[in-house]
Amino acid sequence: MRFRKYYKIFRVALIERLTYRSDFLLTSGLRLLPMVTTILLWSAVYGLDYDKEIGNFRLTEMIAYLLLVHISRMFSSMPGLAAGIAIDIREGTLKKYLLQPIDMLGYLITYRVAHKIAYIVTSFLPYAVLFFLCRDYFERFPDAQTLAAYVVSLLLAYVIGFYFEACIGMIGFWMLEVTSLLYIVNTLNFFISGQMFPIDLLPRPAVRVLKLMPFQYMAYFPAAVFLGKIRGEALWQGLLAEAAWALGLFLLARTLFHFGLRRYSAYGG
Amino acid sequence: MGNVFRYVRLWFAFARFALLGELAFRGNFIMKMLVEILWLVILLMFYRTIFASTKLVAGWRQDQYLFFVGCYFALEGLIETLFLENCQDFSNQVRTGNLDASLLQPLDEQFLVSCRKIDWSTVPNFLMGAGVMIMSLAENPEWRFNPWQLLIFVAVFFCALLLAYSFLLILTSSAVWMIRNQSLMELWWLFSSLMRYPREIFQSNWAWPIGWVFTFLLPVMLVINVPANVMVRTLEPENVLFIAVATVIMLGVSRWFFCRALRRYRSASS
């Protein structure tokens, strides 16, 4: 019965996502443009020297990394989640979750799964074309164990991305306006998660600090796993740390929701 | 002429009201500026990281590339200040039917739709971008002040601003057909990625068709490239003339597209 409730949420969210197809297709198509410019920029930086290494990445590995980061972000990015939660809190519309036999975080994570599946299915073709055209940048396909670790890291990236954004959104129980905080967090995240370039290119002290934080798991870590940059014991330690962050953010989100509801007055809505 | 002054006076009135609105929420205003400063810091760190590994990027030296970054930041700041928030609002107005109120005003619809709101929190972006440009010129051992060069740069920069505006207007107008265009900021960010880097990076075997399309058909790559070239590399008269002509054509095309979009608009009962 409980599963059926969340299945219906999933189905409705999927239909809603596919209703405005032209907006979706235009965005999916334009998402290829930054990838093209990124490949060309780094080719220019390396001067087409395929043996040159920058931060332990050769040209082919750098471009493969930047392509794989898009896959990581496909799983970990949650556009509008934090802002949506903050708006629900501020405008009182959060009460719709409280009046129904449904858990808000359970609803939202199911809703996002549907959106992610819709996004992956509908953008599969342009990404497949792009990866096919760039197949020469992938020197080798990872073995079964590395591939399994990669898949696990992507699933955990989804959990981390969701609960991180949910926690930011639930700061709205204590602060009237979280949009500005969200801008700062997203802007920083774009850099420190490794979306612009591998965080290994930064100075060593910065790299040591950033690798202790959860942001790397939203972009850098899965891509580095696929490329074989993180192997053996470091790989299992990394996955364990990622799982720990996922669990920690899950618990934090639940705690914030519990204590936030105590303060919530449900004005408006 | 009187009509033009009327629009100029109106624009100043809009700017004044927008500033009063921003200053009513000073904390939010300061926070938005901090975000933009952070973004500039990230861009500069990215640029420094690249040039820690190479002396040239597609023929651009470090000081020249820094000017390019400053030019991009300044122009993007002006776009965000003058137009972006209005264009973002347009898709909501189309969806909710509130565009009717704008269409009933005795004013040009394009002016009202694209110029009503001024985002003062992004004005510092223009100033910071200008600061980066000046800093790069100071680092450039070959650059010497030339008033004619500066004048041409300002004129070409203005053309670039109008060219970028015309692309933004076309993207915005598509909201009438797509109804839900909630991701205009993202669409603009994705599209403007083409002007974020020197167009010389598109000179490889497989990339030159893309470079050709976005230079001669949809000349978005000229937006930062030509002004930056004028100031710190070579002043190529043909490129200056080309961007001027492209600006006039694209302004006409975007105007036509916008008017087509308005004819397609059906109110959603405001």
Task: Please state the domain extents for chain B.
Answer: 2-264
Low-confidence ranges of chain A (pLDDT < 70): 1-3, 13-14, 16-25, 28, 267-269
Query: Domain containing A187: what range?
Result: 2-263
pLDDT at residue B89 greater than cutoff 70: yes
Helices B2-24 and B26-51, packing angle to 10 deg? 100
pLDDT at residue B197 greater than cutoff 80: yes
Nearest to B54 among A23, A47, A180 (CB): A47
Tell me whether residues B187 and A30 touch, CB distance under 8 A: yes
DSSP string, chain B: -HHHHHHHHHHHHHHHHHHHHHHHTHHHHHHHHHHHHHHHHHHHHHHHHHHTT-S-BTTB-HHHHHHHHHHHHHHHHHHIIIIIHHHHHHHHHHHHTTHHHHHTSSS-HHHHHHHS---GGGHHHHHHHHHHHHHHHHH-TT----HHHHHHHHHHHHHHHHHHHHHHHHHHHTHHHHS--TTHHHHHHHHGGGGSS-GGGG-STTTHHHHHIIIIIS-TTHHHHHHHHHHHS---HHHHHHHHHHHHHHHHHHHHHHHHHHHH------
In the chain, the amino acid numbered B205 is: N
Question: What pLDDT band is residue B73 in, cutting at 50, 70 and 90?
Answer: very high
ipTM confidence: 0.85
Count of structural domains, chain A: 1
Tell me, what's the pLDDT at A18?
A: 66
Question: What pLDDT band is residue B266 in, cutting at 50, 70 and 90?
Answer: confident
CB-CB neighbors (< 8 A) of B179 in chain A: 20, 23
Stretch B238-255: mean pLDDT: 94
Question: What pLDDT band is residue B268 in, cutting at 50, 70 and 90?
Answer: low
Tell me, what's the pLDDT at A34?
A: 84
Tell which residue, A263, A72, A242, A86, has the closest CA to residue A167.
A86
pLDDT at residue B182 greater than cutoff 60: no
pLDDT in tens, B149-168: 999 999 999 999 999 999 99
DSSP string, A199-235: GGGS-HHHHHHHTTSGGGGGTHHHHHHHTTSS-HHHH
Nearest to A183 among B35, B178, B190 (CB): B35
Tell me whether residues A180 and B190 touch, CB distance under 8 A: no
Q: Is residue A128 situated within a structural domain?
A: yes
Tell me, what's the pLDDT at A153?
A: 97
Shortest distance between the Cα of B63 and any Cα of chain A, in A, equals 15
pLDDT at residue B270 greater than cutoff 60: no
Q: Are A247 and A160 in contact (CB under 8 A)?
A: no
CA dihedral B233, B238, B243, B247 (to 10 degrees): 160
Strand partners, A54: A57
Tell me, what's the pLDDT at A16?
A: 67
State the Cα angle at A252 between A247 and A258, rounded to 5°. Answer: 130
Between B194 and B180, residue with greater pLDDT: B194
CB-CB neighbors (< 8 A) of A44 in chain B: 57-58, 200-201
What is the model's pTM? 0.85
A49 Cβ contact list (under 8 Å, min separation 6): A59
**CB neighbours (10 Å) of residue A208?**
10
Helices A104-122 and A59-76, packing angle to 10 deg? 140
